[in-house]
Each structure stands twice: as structure tokens, then as C-alpha cells.
Structure 1
Amino acid sequence: MFFGKPKQTDQSGRVPPNQNVTTKFPVLHAGNVPYYKDMTKWNLQVYGLVDEPMLLSFNDIKAFPTAETKNDIHCVTGWSRLDNVWQGVRAKDIAEKAQVKKEAGFVILHAEEGWTANLPLADFIAETSLLAYAHNGEPLTPEHGFPLRGVFPHLYFWKSAKWLRGIQFTKENHPGFWEQNGYHMRGDPWQNQRFQWD
């Protein structure tokens, strides 16, 4: 895989351990890239431990207040990309609209082809957490998760699932795709939590 030549720079504490800064935006994923020609066939299901389950169209997503965040992202494979600007919906707004039950402690993100990622509810509703449909002022490309991807910049970027189709609130923590294959259950880049034994 070629990411462009990484460059190590002193970013005043912005880059976690064992990461290299790149200006490229590498494309990494498991499975195929979905291409949506008819957005009426896409929806996002919000369900599980909620009082108000939802089935949202892309227009429904765009009807939420637009949020914009600027952050750095860190991939478990060792690259970091600084100063990304994302537009989308705050994950917290989705959780509030669904009225998440008290007993919910975790979230499972469901994507195309059965791909999943897990994270604690506190990480999902963090102020920096977004469900993004645009990056740096342009709609997401299919390779980067169009029409909707999670963005949880305080965790390694595999947690920021592309091609979202479902958000499930659960009581227990269930490992997602990469977690079942040896990746860390939380994935904090500042703690170097790459694998289960870290």
C-alpha cells in the first residue's frame, strides 16, 4: 500500500506515539466500495436501547443541524493526517433524538457488507464525534465513505466506520469486525492501543 512519503514533524503534541504525518488521504477498507446512484435506496437505521428508533433517509440526515469540526486523524497502520474539516451531524444529536436508554453503554456501527465497529457510548457522543457527509468542503467520495461515515478523531481511524447503515445502542460491548481479528476494543491512539495485547 502506498500512502505517499510520510514526514515526521514536531506538531507540539498533536501526533500520537509511532505515527507519521502525511498530507495524503490513504484509502483502507475491507470489502468493496459501494456506489450509490439512487439515494432513495439508502437509509440509516437507529435502534437498540432507544425509546425512539428511527429509519433516516439522507434528506433526514441533512435536515439535522449541520456541524463542522476540524481535527487530526490517526490510522492504526501508522499515518496521521492533520487539519481535516468535516461537515455532518453531531453523533450526540442522533443519540438525543433517539432517546437512548440509561442502560445503554455501547454503540455498534453497522456498515455495508456486514462490517461493524464498536465503541463506548461516551466516545460516540463526545463533542468531537460526527456523522460526516463532507470533508474539506466537498461531499465524501465513495472511497472515503459516501454517503455517511462516522468520525471519532480521538480513537484510531478504523473506528470511524465508512458507509454507515445502522447505529445500534447496546448494554454490552460487542467486538466489531477488526476487534474480532485482534484489534483493540477501544483503540486510543494516545495509549497506543492498536491490538488486544496493547
Structure 2
Amino acid sequence: MPTATTTVLDLDEQLLGPLLVAEVESYLRAVAERPAPAPVPVPAAAAYRPEPGTAWYQMALAVAADPAPTPGRTDTRPEAGPWWAGHPLPVPTLTDRIRGRRPVAPVTAAQHLQLMDRYIAEHGWTQGQLWDREGRVCVLGAHLKVLAAGYGTPGTAWQARLLIGNQLGRLGHPIRVDTWNDQPDRTQADIHHLLRAAANPT
């Protein structure tokens, strides 16, 4: 009980001390009784992270970082029509201009595969090399050409590669798509069938 000689400061300390303790105890009880928050589901795309150590991914990073003119635009045959039709052209942002980097048009992994399919249909397909002098590409070359054109990121291309690998597994060919591409009995029709099935798994 405060006495007549108690100062205002002493009175504040005597009253606020117990009140503060009571408030902290009340908060701790509320926290203990509060149900734990439900775990946040991880999006499917986030579960697939590129492996930075792979040579393929290093190539994809180098292509994405190269601010040079888009190779997919300069070698398109006019009579074939643009393989990127229906997708917005990548438009550089202010940050892209400041950093001197290639603009990116967001696409899903499935859309990346569809663009690869159309790129090969327009430019042709080859084996044993990324691309030849005529502009024909293998599957890996198509990945890099679509990426260089600004459609998706290296992570998008990696997810698309995983979809291809899954489809090869369903077909009974659990091998790298680059090896599958270069097999002697492979045809361009096989390539289109694989890319379309990987983009639209049933």
C-alpha cells in the first residue's frame, strides 16, 4: 500500500510492474492456446529447382544473361510465319535497360515446350549438335533458342526439361533427352510427338 511519502515515480513502478507481468503472462497464454498455422503448400513449380552444377543449366544461364540480339528472330524464314505467334513479344522494362539484360516474357514450362515444338517445325531438326548452319536445332538447341528469344527463364526451361524426362519415362526411355535425340532411328516426327505429349501429359 503506498504511503504518504511515496513519490509519483515509486507509485508508477509499483503499479506498472505487476500490470506488465500480467500482460506478458496473458499474451503467452494466448500464444500457447492459439492453434498452429496450417503449413503453406509449396507450388508444384517451386518443387523443381534447377541444378546449378549441371553444364546444361550453366549454358541456359549464359544464354539468358546475353544481351545480344535475339537469335530466334533473325533466322526466321518469312514464308514460315513467326514461331512465337500468339505470345507477347518480350518488352524491356526500365530495369532491363539499366542492367543491359534481355527482356523476358513469362511463359509456363508447357508453353516453353510448345514454343520449342513450333521452333523445330519452322527451322528444322538436327542431331549431334545444338544447331547447324541452316538453323536446324536439336531438342537442347530448341530449349536455348526459345530461351534466348526471351520466353521464360532458365528455371522455366529446366522445368520443361523435367516434363520431357517424365514423358520419356512413361514411354519406357528413362534416358537423357539429348541421348534420345541423337539415336540413329530417331525422326523429327518423334521429336514433335514427345514435345507435345510432355506439354500436355494425360
Shared fold, TM over 0.5: no
Greater strand fraction, Structure 1 or Structure 2: 1
Q: TM-score range by the shorter chain?
A: under 0.3
**TM-score after normalising by structure 1:** 0.27
Greater helix fraction, Structure 1 or Structure 2: 2
**TM-score after normalising by structure 2:** 0.27
